[in-house]
Structure 1
Amino acid sequence: MLHKIVKIIAVIISVLSLVFLGGILASEDKDSAWISPLINVSYFIFAACVAVVVIYVVKNLFSKKETLKKTLVSVGLFLAVVVISFVLADSSEVKTNSGVVSGTTSKLVSTGLNTFYLLAIVAVGTMLWTGFNKIKK
């Protein structure tokens, strides 16, 4: 039943999107009156999708304790990587052509880069380890 309702809503939204797209393409003005309603529909669809995903994820997490435990461990490990990246981050001010980047901003950018590098190293290491184990067997 829910699947049929979602299909019907998807068809309605698709038809509305085609109507808005046709209005934009038919208009010769760059600032068409069709753009604002299309953006509002996009925001509504995005919010609805996020809400549905969050509801089902939370429902499935709390229905299975094993899944909840694995998820909490994964989130904890990710937060540990972010904390390690934050500790290793450089917070010195950086001079640019347009001004000076503050130490806080520099630290946050450095944290993001360090997090990316650590996760990339873990991903490559995991792929090498599983490849090595497959070759070994």
Structure 2
Amino acid sequence: MHKLVKIAAIIVSVLSVVFLGLLMGSSDEPKDNSWISPLIYISYFILAACVVLVLAFVLKNLFSNTENLKRTLISIGLFLGVVLISYILADGSDVKANGEVVSGSTSKWVSAGLNVFYILALAAIGAMVWTGFNKLIKR
């Protein structure tokens, strides 16, 4: 199976390079670019196939080892907890931007997204500092 996926990836890569060359070499005339739309649909299909294959392999490997499944579910739960806390702490007031009023719900979700980013960035920085500190102590 791995060999088949590898061969398919090589074929798709070569075809992508050929189509990119054709696209870059085409003129700017609208009548000459009628073949671009089908290529876009082909790229959507290839992207969907890649996503399905990646998800299939990830789920297969995830369910084959219960310890990995447990750690993954704990990580997802912690992430959802961070999202919930961020949403609770988010400000949901109306905001005027570019002459339009942004609704409170949209403003709350944007604020929650920023809060999630800040919390996860602090956690990542803290993990790097902690790891570096532990390496210094062990030496």
TM (norm. structure 1) is 0.90
> Equivalents in 2 of 1:19, 1:128: separation in Å?
46
Matches within 5 A, 1:1-137: 2-31=1-30, 32-137=33-138
Q: Count matched residues.
A: 136
Deviation at 1:67, TM superposition (A): 0.4
C-alpha root-mean-square deviation of aligned residues, in Å?
A: 1.6
Superposed displacement of residue 30, structure 1: 4.9
Q: Which string of whole-angstrom CA distances, capped at 9 and with x for unpartnered residues, describes residues 91-126 of structure 1?
A: 000012231000000000000000000001111111
CA 1:134–1:40 in structure 2 vs 1: closer, same or farther (change >3 Å)?
A: same
After superposition, give the CA deviation of every residue in 1:75-102 in whole Å (9 maximum; x if it has no partner). 0000000001000000000012231000
Q: Which moved more, 1:12-21 or 1:48-57?
A: 12-21
Between the aligned partners of 1:44 and 1:69, the Cα distance in structure 2 is: 33
| TM-score normalized with structure 2 length | 0.89
Deviation at 1:58, TM superposition (A): 0.9
Letter in 2 for 1:72: L
Identity %: 62
2:98, 2:27 → 1: CA distance? 40
Amino acid aligned to 1:33:
S
3-state SS of 1:28 partner: coil
> Is there any run of 5+ residues in structure 1 with no aligned partner, and where?
none
Inter-CA distance 131–15: structure 2 relative to 1 (3 Å threshold): closer
1:13-35, Cα deviation, whole Å (9 max, x unpaired): 23432342233233213541231
Give me the whole-angstrom Cα distance separating, in 1, the residues matched to 2:91 and 2:20: 47
User: Residues 117 and 87 of structure 1: is their aligned pair in 2 closer, same or farther, counting only changes over 3 Å?
Assistant: same
CA distance in 2, matches of 1:125, 1:39: 43
Aligned letter for 2:136? Answer: I
Q: Report the CA distance between 1:6 and its aligned residue.
A: 2.1
Shift in CA distance, 15/95, structure 1 to aligned 2, threshold 3 Å = same
**Distance of 2:28 and 2:89 partners within structure 1:** 52
